[in-house]
Chains A and B, each alone.
Chain A
Amino acid sequence: MSEEVELSIRNAGSGAVLLAAQTLRLPIEIGRFGAANVGRISAGDGRIVHFGEGFGTLSRQHLTIAAGPGSGIVVTDMSSNGVSQVGQAGAAVPLGHGGTVRMSPGAMRIFETVGLQVTVCAPKEAQVDAIGQPLHLVYDSSSTGRLKALDFDGVSIALVENGAEVLMRRRKGTAMAALEAARAEGAACLLMIGPDGAGGITAICGQGGEVAHNRRMMEADEVAAMDHLDTVEIRGQLLRIMSAEEGKGLSCTNTRCRQLNPYLPGENCRYCGQRLGDGISYWVHS
């Protein structure tokens, strides 16, 4: 789901820029405010942007932009005076009060209303290149006390039980092939994380009741597709999957949770509700 949108506002008559392109957090509300009828944009992260005053014909809540179902965004006309979408041929189609326009990722649309031209660009979805895997395994190295990141280019990482310890070992090939090979050698493999052979990364649970994926206990031989900010927990140790393209994540400080969230310090953890402002930031560079 898109979380941000790029937005700019011009005077429809003169073409003068009232608000240069800004990246703002969803949901967004455009409207007028105060005695001076200040044009005001209120973003989802609490940010407020003003774009001049004297907009008496702008409604208090004129236009809203929210995340749509799945990916993409939804623009809704909440105004009294109407909002029109400008088509490619220049024709303006009114949305009607309560009318919506869905925009797919990467789309740009122009809306005209009460002398303003609002340009909205829905962000493009991150493209994961199947050649050169961007996902990394990030973990606290117990010997150095520092964070380490391992890539998965053609290799899998096996977590093998060895007495009271769990050893992390590199193995060539896809996760499934590496797990089969490890089992054939008699190694007590608790978890194998590695390429799935189709451009993605998977985690395969070796023994049930030992490994949790995003806080949920996995069953033996269960395969979980791994994505940016996923975590696997094994006997109190947490391994985090991060994308070098996305770069950054915030770890929850609730000791019962510790999951990795998108780098949005004002939000709360999506797994347990803890405020992320106190979280520990993790990042990985390509």
Chain B
Amino acid sequence: MIQFPVRFRVRQIGIDGNTMGPSRILLCEEPGRFLIGKSEEADVPLTGDAVSRRHLSLLLDTHDVRVRDESSTNGTYVNGTRVDEVVLAVGDQISIPGWLLELLAPADSPATVTRIAGVAVDESLVSRLIMTDDDTPPPPRRTFPDAEFDGKEMVSIEALRASGHPVEETRFCAVGGGLGSFVWVDHLRCYGVPASDIRAIGTEEVCYQTYKRYCKNSQIPDHERLRSNSLSRPDNIWGFPGYAMREVGKGIGVKGIFQVFGEPTLAESYTPRAGDVFESLDIEAKRIGWSEMFIKAQVLGLRKTSDGRYAVAFKLWGGEASGMARNRYLIADVVHLSTGYPATRFVEDFQTFITNHPDNRAQVANAYEPHDQIYVEAERRGGPVQVVVRGRGIVASRIIQRLHEARKKNPGIRILHSMRSPLGPRDGAIFRKARRLVRNNVEIQPFNWPKSCWGGDLRVEYERAGEEDRGIMLGQLGGTTTAERSDWIAIMDRGAEEGWYRAVYGNISAFQPIPSPGPDQPDGVQISIDTVEGNVERLNADYLIDCTGLIADIRRAPLLADLLDTYHLPRNHAWRMQDGRAVRGAPSGLRASNDFEIEGLRNGNGRVYAAGTITTGGPYLAVDSFLGLQYSALRSVDHLVTERHHKVRDLGPLRSFGGWCRWMVGARP
């Protein structure tokens, strides 16, 4: 007698013959015939070029379990022997190209388990957790859009409509809904594409919400200045008038006017206030009708369609729809991907500490996560408070400025600035004949790239370079720098002089919690630093603020990971010089053409473009800057104009001037 459910372990086999990914358990609950193959009608759909549409059947009745080959092209094998039809025994292995199915022994079902250790336990059984042998956790269960998308490179619109989920159509779809999407949509609107032909999908209604949150968390409130150029205006494709002119118009005093007209040689580079940027984005969003185009939803997948377009699967967030009714498909001719940074960087020691000591989570923070309570607590305590700031980028500078402000309330606050190694005045990065300025162990540069990377000779040189040369230039011109701000330099100089600021050099190797010294006193953190001299220095601190930044690994974004796996998209790589030759490093962004098209996703006349950090290592250096987003939008929309497939009209000088006049008076494009 066969005991149901009959269970098979299903494993995917890679080209090297090893198993890939997690194993899955196939449960056949009752007698019957189960078709396995690539066909959509198959009970168990398996993917692979060598799997036939109808490959084999599992025939289950109360007496035996059999396997029958359904005249497949590449055959069905049981324990290594090709078979037509055969009865299976427990442990038999069925192999077809790329897959292995193993008949498992029957599980003890609730009906058969009557006693464990002599005690009746039937009624207590709530559930059974099926385990896999490998460490990889099982993939999340998702019926949408996996039923239509999983394992398919191409889907038909008819199949999507047949799924019962609403299917809408549009011409242009921006995926992400953040600043990158906004700038692209703004370009389309200024080029004359009506709002009714565009959809932007994202989880936050305001396009700068994520950016602003990162600013706020890293202690840049609205009245503080960003590290961006006056003419880099994500709300104005012409860039004129810049933020500086606007600020002059509001009245910024003689010193401010001198800075605007004297920068960058006679005065420090001008940078706009965060709040001004957000306010101007609000105005432009209203002008172009962003709210009419925006869909608040989470994008779950993207596939090519058989008619040369793209299907975007998304789940509505909020609104009246609930449950499965939130799942939708949007069919678009052109898709733009700009999903931003997928995570904040938790370096290994930081991750280990928060995993092992969750109770001490309030003592350590990444600068991009909310951590205002650290300043409030340090200000309130009145006694000595030691804060370790790790990193030497711009975020670290701003955090040190914030701690300096906190010292006005609690002069007992001391700052330990942790850096890997000291940097002398002659240690700044060198690019050809230029060397970066170094002050207080920190490399200084007005913006995060030399200015000619945006629109000057370095942009042209970089665009023309091959992958390897691009990677080398990226390494030489990038790196960690902070802005040229005399107040930040003065804070560090004064702190070192007065003894409340000290730089410590070496790699942080471990953190350990220190128990609370007394009632109403928070716990501390002991930080071990492997110093440059080879010693271990142990520092006791009250807080650690880690300023090591954001993660750009596109594999951390589920949507992009799915695209990489489904379409085997090529990626850019980091490069570094070693012993005089270029060595390829870790993969970085999606490979894009000079027009920011992801050519691996081309589908007839359909086009997919990308922007922002997901194109790192691609055709432009400063991809994640305001001007970088504008540049990529300009190139991709110009590409659409040149190709003439999608009825986007050229923005010649006259139309452009007209468009700018409309922008100036706030008229809808």
Contacts and interface: CB of A to CB of B under 8 A. Distances in A.
A270 B379 CA distance: 24
A270 B369 contact: yes
Interface string A29-44: 1010111000010101
A83 B465 CA distance: 59
A42 B216 CA distance: 10
A85 B138 CA distance: 55
B432 interface: no
Interface string B92-120: 00000000000000011000000011110
A270 B342 contact: no
Nearest to A164: B131
Interface in B184-210: 203-204, 206, 208-210
A168 interface: yes
A46 B282 CA distance: 12
Given A27-B372, A270-B369, A254 B343 contact: yes
B130 interface: yes
Contacts of A214: 355, 358
A10 interface: no
A26 B130 CA distance: 42
Interface stretch (A15-23, A104-112, A134-142): A134-142
B222 interface: yes
Interface stretch (B423-431, B456-464, B532-540, B553-561): B553-561
B286 interface: no
B262 interface: no
A205 to B, nearest CB: 15
B344 interface: yes
B131 A236 contact: yes
A253 B558 contact: yes
A1 B140 contact: no
Contacts of A166: 128-129, 131
Given A69-B376, A266-B204, A268-B369, A143 B27 contact: yes
A67 interface: yes
A285 to B, nearest CB: 13
Contact of B135 (A236, A270, A278): A236
With most chain A CB atoms within 10 A of its CB, the pick from B136, B279, B317, B368 is: B279
A186 B117 contact: yes
Q: Sort A-B residue pairs by CB-CB distance and give the 10 closest, nearest first.
A: A46-B209, A186-B117, A273-B344, A46-B212, A69-B377, A185-B117, A168-B126, A169-B124, A60-B223, A277-B203
A69 B379 CA distance: 11
Given A160-B116, A237-B138, 16 more contacts: A31-B223, A44-B213, A46-B216, A48-B278, A69-B373, A74-B380, A143-B27, A162-B108, A167-B128, A168-B126, A187-B116, A214-B355, A235-B131, A268-B369, A275-B342, A278-B557
Interface in A152-172: 157, 159-160, 162-171
Contacts of B129: 139, 142, 159, 165-168, 234-235, 237
Nearest to B209: A46
Contact of B372 (A66, A100, A273, A278): A66
B373 A270 contact: no
B546 to A, nearest CB: 10
B514 interface: no
Nearest to A150: B126
Contacts of A274: 342-343, 556
Contact of B373 (A67, A237, A266): A67
A66 B376 contact: yes
Interface in A180-230: 185-187, 214-216
B185 to A, nearest CB: 19
B137 A236 contact: yes
B366 interface: yes
A53 interface: no
Contact of A275 (B108, B278, B343): B343
B125 interface: yes
24 contacts: A40-B222, A42-B222, A44-B370, A46-B216, A60-B222, A100-B379, A139-B129, A142-B130, A160-B116, A166-B129, A166-B131, A168-B127, A169-B124, A186-B116, A236-B136, A253-B140, A254-B556, A268-B368, A270-B369, A273-B346, A274-B342, A277-B204, A278-B342, A278-B559
Contacts of B117: 185-187
B457 to A, nearest CB: 36
A272 interface: yes
A68 B358 contact: no
B242 interface: no
Contact of B279 (A1, A33, A145, A258): A33
A185 B140 contact: no
Interface string B115-156: 011110100111111111001111111000000000000000
A66 to B, nearest CB: 4
Contacts of A139: 127, 129
Most buried by A among B126, B275, B368: B126
Contacts of B376: 66-69, 74, 100
Contacts of A46: 204, 206, 208-210, 212-213, 216
A238 interface: yes
A54 interface: no
A26 B371 CA distance: 11
Given A33-B222, A236-B132, A255-B137, A66 B373 contact: yes
B124 A237 contact: no
Interface size class of A (residues with CB under 8 A): 35 or more
Contacts of A271: 354-355
A163 B105 CA distance: 11
A280 interface: yes
B124 to A, nearest CB: 4
Contacts of B551: 273
Contact of B124 (A27, A31, A35, A170): A170
Nearest to A67: B373
Contact of A168 (B119, B128, B223, B345): B128
B361 interface: yes
B5 to A, nearest CB: 8
A251 B137 CA distance: 14
Interface string B249-293: 110000000000000000000000001001100100000000000
Given A29-B222, A48-B282, A266-B209, A273 B366 contact: yes
Contacts of A255: 136-137, 139
Nearest to A169: B124
B356 interface: yes
Contacts of B203: 265-266, 277
B63 interface: no
A115 interface: no
Given A142-B127, A187-B116, A47 B136 contact: no
Contacts of A125: none
A8 interface: no
A124 interface: no
A12 B317 CA distance: 39
Nearest to B115: A185
A157 B124 CA distance: 9
A61 B223 contact: yes
B298 interface: yes
B93 to A, nearest CB: 17
